[in-house]
């Protein structure tokens, strides 16, 4: 691979899912990822599954990053989890504010991801490399683009080492975001998050929920293919390969793939690079 890659998985909910993910990981390890990250449900609802999956990846000899969200958490609960992760051999965290579980008030001692980053740094020094989230197309809850950039810079100054972006299909949004944060004095690596396109309904649903923009021409093409999965996958591979090539040519430091616990689409994209 000409450029470093990393992969994201989510914790499986069933023994079958866990076995399938084990096979997917073995296939993707052939691409020699820098690390694999594992997500965390709203309010830490999947913590056990997250830590179990992280432990499995480390046991397979690959560096693992645990997602770590702070909504509803207390300093004591975070301290305890950091101790657990350190004992497991985790060296990298993806520090997020996280989503509130539905019907949940905004309790807890942390209000923003920057609070969590600062706390982890104060408690653990340089024991962990800390990744934070970045939103090239602006966080859906940001008051303004300027406010969003300032919030990002605050996370960097709190002690983050690097950032992984929300997925996007417009390379210009990424390059513009990088330029804007460099002007604010943020010089850490900003890694594009890449979402393969394999299903139109799932992608449209996800993107509406998280504020990722699907270019109109891509959306219309996907809708026109209807249930023709083969055409959707071929078109998706073409669109996302072009995106990755542009990002690499433009100086992206590495690529982080949202695998959705599948191997084929990510393998195809890496092969195209």
Round to whole Å and give the CA distance between 114 and 12: 29
Sign of the torsion formed by the C-alpha atoms of 59, 62, 63 and 69? negative
Q: CA-CA distance, 42 to 117, in Å (whole number)?
A: 18
CB 22 within 8 A of CB 56: yes
Cα gap 32→10, rounded to integer Å: 19
The CA R_g of the chain, rounded to the nearest whole Å, is: 18
| Given 8, 19, 80, 123, the catalytic residue | 8
Cα(7)–Cα(38) distance, integer angstroms: 9
Residues with Cβ within 8 Å of 29's Cβ and at least 6 positions away in sequence, in order, are: 60, 62
Residues with Cβ within 8 Å of 259's Cβ and at least 6 positions away in sequence, in order, are: 7, 8, 9, 24, 28, 196, 265, 266
Calpha distance 240→246 (Å, rounded): 10
For position 100, what pLDDT does the model report? Answer: 60
Q: What pTM was computed for the model?
A: 0.94
- In a 13 Å sphere around the CA of 87, the CA atoms on its Cβ side amount to 7
- 129-134 and 190-194: which strand pairing? unpaired
Place of tokens 């210009």: 172
pLDDT in the model for residue 269: 97
109 is catalytic: no
- For the record, the structure tokens of 220 come out as 């219309």
pLDDT of residue 40: 85
Question: CA angle, 37 as apex, 103 and 94 as ends, to 5°?
Answer: 60
Q: List the chain domain ranges.
A: 5-199+237-272
pLDDT by residue for the chain (273 residues), tens only, comes to 579 999 999 999 999 999 999 999 999 999 999 999 999 875 556 788 999 999 999 999 999 999 998 888 889 999 999 999 999 999 999 999 876 655 555 567 888 899 999 999 999 999 999 999 999 999 888 899 999 999 999 999 999 999 999 999 999 999 999 999 999 999 999 999 999 999 998 898 889 888 899 999 999 999 999 999 999 999 999 999 999 999 999 999 999 999 999 999 999 999 998
Neighbour-count burial for 45-64, b at 16+ CB within 10 Å, e otherwise: ebbebbbebbbbbbeeebbb
Tell me, rounded to whole angstroms, the distance of Cα 63 from its chain centroid: 15
Specify the pLDDT at position 211.
81
Class of domain 5-199+237-272: alpha beta
The span from the CA of 113 to the CA of 27, in Å, is: 33
DSSP string across 99-114: PPPTT----SS--SHH
Q: Which residues contact 233 (CB under 8 A, 6 or more apart)?
A: 197, 198, 265
Nearest Cα residue to 38 out of 97, 101, 94, 88: 94
């Amino acid at each position: 691979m000409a450029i470093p890659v990393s992969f994201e998985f989510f914790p499986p909910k069933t023994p079958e899912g866990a076995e399938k993910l084990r096979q997917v990981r073995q296939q993707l390890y052939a691409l020699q990822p820098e690390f694999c990250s594992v997500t965390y449900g709203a309010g830490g609802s999947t913590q056990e599954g997250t830590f179990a999956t992280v432990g499995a990846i480390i046991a397979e000899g690959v560096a693992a990053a645990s997602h770590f969200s702070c909504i509803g958490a207390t300093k004591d609960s975070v301290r305890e989890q950091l101790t657990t992760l350190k004992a497991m051999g985790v060296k990298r965290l993806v520090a997020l504010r996280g989503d509130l579980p539905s019907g949940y008030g905004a309790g807890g001692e942390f209000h923003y991801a920057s609070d969590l980053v600062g706390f982890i740094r104060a408690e653990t020094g340089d024991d962990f490399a800390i990744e934070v989230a970045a939103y090239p197309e602006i966080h859906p809850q940001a008051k303004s683009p300027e406010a969003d950039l300032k919030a990002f810079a605050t996370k960097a100054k709190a002690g983050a080492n690097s950032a992984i972006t929300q997925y996007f299909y417009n390379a210009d949004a990424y390059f513009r975001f990088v330029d804007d944060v460099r002007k604010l004095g943020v010089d850490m690596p900003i890694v594009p998050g890449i979402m393969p396109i394999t299903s139109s309904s799932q992608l449209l649903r996800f993107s509406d929920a998280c504020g990722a923009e699907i270019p109109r021409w891509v959306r219309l093409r996907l809708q026109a293919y209807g249930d023709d999965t083969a055409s959707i996958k071929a078109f998706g591979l073409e669109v996302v390969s072009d995106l990755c090539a542009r990002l690499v040519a433009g100086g992206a430091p590495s690529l982080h793939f949202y695998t959705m616990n599948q191997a084929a689409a990510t393998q195809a994209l890496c092969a195209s690079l």
